[in-house]
Structure 1
């Protein structure tokens, strides 16, 4: 037996030694935070410090040196994130991840993100081009010099991908990444598809019950869409079966298929912001709050930095004032996206206009390769794309485009089996895919602004995605304006872009752009009169506004709650702003509370459950049993009401990032016999409660005192791609219990069609910030992971618990404490 012990001991020693070598190798990738290093291309030394909040401060002698240094820092801290994002937008994921990500690559190649970025780059000013060039050189030099070492992702994938590195970032990649942010936030094309799909099985009345108009409004179109599509013969013959499921069912393939399917879905892509003028604050100067809601990721989408440089002259002869701006940057871009200068602060929410239209392109069955236009038949524009795939032969695809834009029905699997592809294709017109898009220019100019008027002027060049911007400066001025380009449509366009339109009819073409001066806006006098201005993705159009902007607004629960909390405090402080951001009262849950309280059930746990509901205060706390019960009941009820009419597969394809809560509430209010079926609505609500109680008790036991919302609702900041890889996700994801739900100000959106964690918080406050214009260095921020993108670095997740608990960190241009100092030398 001794020899067995010796073998085991020897094996354990080898494993420990190997593990130690691997650990040392991986730890070498940690970013260097102190000392002196040389960075090619600088005109003078640059000082980089990190303060007690871990905000990175870059102090340079020239603005180009500051941008170059930011590129260096982003490469240091977020090298893998940038490499992954670069591959996403270029359609090159499959080169390192294999066939599982082909769906995503095909869609990105079809949209032509990088090709359009190349065109848009040429239209930028010499100053903006110089900024992008300096930034990209900072990224490339950091890698090429060996100053930045690969993080674990590169190590784990490199052996399979042939020396994977992150040194390829270019100016066009920066423009492309701005387009990707517009793609994430900018559209309703998924909602148009939902209406097309549901119209196959519903009447027009039922369609608008499933996808109702904004409260108090009529549907944006009076066209009978199901009748229109039936008359055109849009749908596949009954024998064909729709399928949005990937042929490769690995978690990574499912992620890729879901990404492609959900592109253009606006539900839940929201944010909160508000501004309070000095007349309604304790300090007598404005306060501004912002918490943009985005899909939670690890590392986080944001990186907080401070850029400082004296006044000077840029290439092209443009003179600029001193640069002194702090806030949230996006790795890949050389400027602060959300934050403040020494004089003015701003915050974004998604406006949600209709800037994406789908078109049914009628095909010439007699002569393939042509589609119908108002002037007759025309050949598709075609180009060939070759996608390299790890482990198999290259995949060649033909990308077709029409006069409206790329044909997405060729690469979005949900169209297969839905539309008759022998007769129709579906193309996309999207406001961001135009060569004159100068969103990058607007972002750069905002970093120089020192007042609300200067900021509004800077955002005149903002193109996509359209954002609702609140602004405040140190002189006390405040304002709100929607910034971005909105297409105009002809009066005879009766569909108004809310569903796919016949592409061969000129009446459905865009006719131009709404002038910036006519975008929705609120001036200082109006804000002073009310005492604040808030947006939360609700309908932001003022009464009598003459232009059609869109109809797919987020339901107003968050906005109503913010308005109530702002109104109940006569004089606001930084603390009251923070309290509003962390509020977890769910008006959506309260709307269901009375309905659930009336349910009749013989389930053994029903008496206890109904008592919990009766005592529920609407607060979606982590320790709330009632919060858990209401959300699970709502999910079961939604399935019970909708699946029989949509079919399981169609429902699964449309559910998740859409919650259908407004539809469910309407069905119950009407006691709708069609949706509730033969047993009527009471039978549906009772059966849903029974299923919910079975589901909860199977997981958490029958003692309701142990039921906790937080246990089912962890905020999961998922890594790309290892968040989809068993075992590795335990290391790379950042996970913490969270409060809130779909309708709370402190939002916690779950994707209920996920199989393993349907109630996990996937889409929430990607950061929170409160700017104090009376004492700017009393401003605060937080986000859900940490600055570092290296999984073995404690700084990669050191903000998570503070974020979940509603805490903040100081956001100071002149920090009191410096923890790390680095000098970049020419």
Structure 2
């Protein structure tokens, strides 16, 4: 009996101790969470400042920074970015340096190898060295602000640093600056890489031609609607004649095992951000951005209206940070004048200026022009000396450099990287090249304009923040290099304009491939011949229609004299914007907002008759209920409706059913998701193409695709189609890098909400149907922000993005915009708000 009482006592006190430890752990976590919060009020001493700087937050949580000099302004912005987005800066720096594996292990090795091969860091250093002194000093001041935060940090580092054991600025076993001025240039290069899809399209065509003839290739990857392919070359015959393919298909490269525990879960990210970046850059099919501008003759206010919603991969924290930057005119150390700065809008942590937004008198917005500025070259290897490759002048040696990649938990990797006269040899780091090509005969090298030393895109950003008119904006954006952007502009005096700003190569008249597929690198006719001048790139003053819109569609008319690309995006978003702009004589900010949030998919409407026919012919038990749902479906991809989910699942199954038998599972898996083959499906069904649909009719294939789709949806969502919801299958997922890929942490670090739209709606909700494990219909590429501007009263401007200003998962400001973004709501974007919610003074440190 006594022994029983003692045992019960042990259990009792053990339970008490467990509860106590849990409470203590909770208290410790709460204290730590409080210590990670950025100071928003009071006074903070900062090294390097010459004068005090005001940092105030308004009710919309826009950060207003007012300094007495441009240099102090840039220092303060660097410090604020570090306060709010320190892990984002650290992670992004490691991405472009190719040092992720040092802290995340072998799962990110392929990403690191690609970054080292592209030499993003080296290119950034060369470009930085060529900038005017005033621009270099701006980037230097910004990096000093980041360094000042870490040197005098009063808040604890956010949990990413602790969970992954990362020390800010420590790389290669050595301590360094947490951010350098060259890193800002490098981050602009990374944006160009993210927005570039040419090289992925070229490699996809080369890969598909191993099993398809040229005619079938152009059916699977059609040119822009109504146009012939940009090249008439029989590409399949060209590559067979050269003998470029490996004699046997190599097996896919094994996935490198990750570390045990938390970091090992990073392997899952290979199906998301790491693999997407490390393998072929891919195309941007269905992805892109929208912008449009209306002249005062088309607005109720009599002044221009401007809208912009750039579509980028969703992340938590968001890619953007909203700020108002204000400083009087100044000068650089060599006496060069720096104009007064008074600009508000979206900044990119890593860059010291507003990228998208407005000043007191002018507003602007970007979309990606997507010209062909990346060419792959087949470089022939000398059979007698593998250190040489063939050029128009004979055999020349590869340039070679050595890189060492530190890998957590493993030995360092000694990496030998080659380059040719065109650029880096991607075959040295891309496993997919070795699976396709005979690398004893050929390698693939990349010519990419963004890597050139004259890339001064950051100078354009700095000068745009000082502009007060459309004309001054155009002068600033004349420095824009990469990635080329379709920019719409408007000022308070009523001027509007469109300009495609950036560098585009001129190809030789005898270049019969025109950059659509890898070219023989030893033939001089495939070398670039220079660049289009600023006057030759597309532009428009809006006089013809009173409005200008771009949505990644062809922006040039039939009389345009120069070749930009054949890989424009399908024009569905542009066509819908044009419909809605022409639907009323005069617009206001509310009608502009309605266009930005429109979810009618013209692409869905085009294939909807085929789906209705399939529903009538399908034998699945749910086919009758589905047919009734589709009877009233008008192509609106609304989160609250079920028909959009049926359509998406059917289109997915139809693509798999028609294309996999022709190109094989492996090649389909390598390309699907990066492109959805929507144009191919449209063409196959329109032609009733017996070759693609064999051994059945196209109608039978369509019906069977619906049967498979219904079986899949029934298994996931139950047997009542009327209760299925597109938004449940199609959540907008802003993924944290890298902890959003760790199952135990994803629910805390990722930001998720049901969403409408698809890849072809104005309110884009792009999904990767090939990523079944990650959620085939999850929306991972959408409006990264929405901005609206009325030039009659710029204080009525509006904005929103999908997460929140803070990058700290413990902050209530981490995801507080999520609901408003999904609902199509906005926050005010004002230079002079009615009140401040927080006020902080950054004071020069006394020792300075």
TM-score by shorter chain over 0.5: yes
1:344 aligns with 2:362: yes
Equivalent pair of 2:326/2:343 in contact (CA under 8 Å): yes
Query: Residue 533 of structure 2 corresponds to which residue in structure 1?
Result: 515
Shift of 1:673: 1.2
Shift of 1:260: 1.4
Query: Residue 464 of structure 1 corresponds to which residue in structure 2?
Result: 482
**Correspondences of 1:436-447 after superposition (within 5 Å):** 436-447=454-465
Query: Residue 353 of structure 1 corresponds to which residue in structure 2?
Result: 371
Superposed CA deviations along residues 335-362 of structure 1, whole A, max 9, x for unmatched, are 0000001111000000010000000011
Task: State the 4+ residue runs in structure 1 displaced beyond 4 angstroms.
Answer: 159-167
1:731 aligns with 2:745: no
Distance in 2, matches of 1:603 and 1:449, equals: 62
Query: Residue 696 of structure 2 corresponds to which residue in structure 1?
Result: 679
> 715, 728, 737: which is aligned to 1:698?
715
Shift of 1:369: 1.1
Give 3-state SS (helix, strand or coil) of 1:103's partner: helix
1:751 aligns with 2:768: yes
> 243, 250, 258: which is aligned to 1:241?
250
**Correspondences of 1:755-766 after superposition (within 5 Å):** 755-756=772-773, 757-766=775-784
- Assess, with a 3 A threshold, how the Cα gap between structure 1 residues 161 and 14 changes in structure 2: closer, same or farther: farther
**Correspondences of 1:234-273 after superposition (within 5 Å):** 234-238=244-248, 240-243=249-252, 246-248=255-257, 250-255=267-272, 256-273=274-291
Query: Residue 569 of structure 1 corresponds to which residue in structure 2?
Result: 584
Give 3-state SS (helix, strand or coil) of 1:236's partner: coil
Superposed CA deviations along residues 47-81 of structure 1, whole A, max 9, x for unmatched, are 00000000000001001111000000000000000
- Assess, with a 3 A threshold, how the Cα gap between structure 1 residues 800 and 652 changes in structure 2: closer, same or farther: same
Equivalent pair of 1:67/1:131 in contact (CA under 8 Å): yes
Superposed CA deviations along residues 10-66 of structure 1, whole A, max 9, x for unmatched, are 123213212321332233111111110111111111000000000000001001111
Query: Residue 88 of structure 2 corresponds to which residue in structure 1?
Result: 81
Equivalent pair of 1:593/1:614 in contact (CA under 8 Å): no
1:767 aligns with 2:782: no
Distance in 2, matches of 1:314 and 1:544, equals: 45
Equivalent pair of 1:269/1:350 in contact (CA under 8 Å): no
**Aligned CA-pair RMSD:** 1.4
Superposed CA deviations along residues 216-263 of structure 1, whole A, max 9, x for unmatched, are 11101111111100110000012x325266343831344423321241
Distance in 1, matches of 2:369 and 2:162, equals: 41
Distance in 1, matches of 2:371 and 2:169, equals: 43
Shift of 1:753: 1.1
Query: Residue 50 of structure 1 corresponds to which residue in structure 2?
Result: 57
Q: Can you give the 5+ residue segments of structure 1 that lack an aligned partner in the other structure?
A: none
Distance in 2, matches of 1:160 and 1:323, equals: 34
Shift of 1:266: 2.7
> 220, 228, 233: which is aligned to 1:210?
220
**Correspondences of 1:256-295 after superposition (within 5 Å):** 256-295=274-313
Give 3-state SS (helix, strand or coil) of 2:506's partner: strand
Equivalent pair of 2:343/2:358 in contact (CA under 8 Å): yes
Task: Give the stretch that moved more between structures: 460-469 or 249-258.
Answer: 249-258
Task: Give the stretch that moved more between structures: 398-407 or 139-148.
Answer: 139-148
Shift of 1:598: 1.1
1:537 aligns with 2:572: no
Equivalent pair of 2:168/2:178 in contact (CA under 8 Å): no
Q: Can you give the 5+ residue segments of structure 2 that lack an aligned partner in the other structure?
A: 1-7, 259-266
Query: Residue 195 of structure 1 corresponds to which residue in structure 2?
Result: 205
Distance in 2, matches of 1:266 and 1:138, equals: 35
Equivalent pair of 1:77/1:788 in contact (CA under 8 Å): yes
Superposed CA deviations along residues 77-101 of structure 1, whole A, max 9, x for unmatched, are 0000000000000000001001111
Distance in 2, matches of 1:814 and 1:314, equals: 28
Query: Residue 104 of structure 1 corresponds to which residue in structure 2?
Result: 111
Give 3-state SS (helix, strand or coil) of 1:5's partner: helix
Equivalent pair of 2:499/2:538 in contact (CA under 8 Å): yes
**Correspondences of 1:138-217 after superposition (within 5 Å):** 138-158=145-165, 168-217=178-227
Superposed CA deviations along residues 191-230 of structure 1, whole A, max 9, x for unmatched, are 0011000000001110000000000111011111111001
1:663 aligns with 2:673: no
Query: Residue 629 of structure 1 corresponds to which residue in structure 2?
Result: 646
Equivalent pair of 2:286/2:760 in contact (CA under 8 Å): no
- Assess, with a 3 A threshold, how the Cα gap between structure 1 residues 160 and 461 changes in structure 2: closer, same or farther: closer
Give 3-state SS (helix, strand or coil) of 1:370's partner: strand
> 28, 34, 44: which is aligned to 1:37?
44
TM-score normalized with structure 1 length: 0.98
Query: Residue 804 of structure 1 corresponds to which residue in structure 2?
Result: 822
TM-score normalized with structure 2 length: 0.95
Shift of 1:617: 1.8
Query: Residue 8 of structure 1 corresponds to which residue in structure 2?
Result: 15
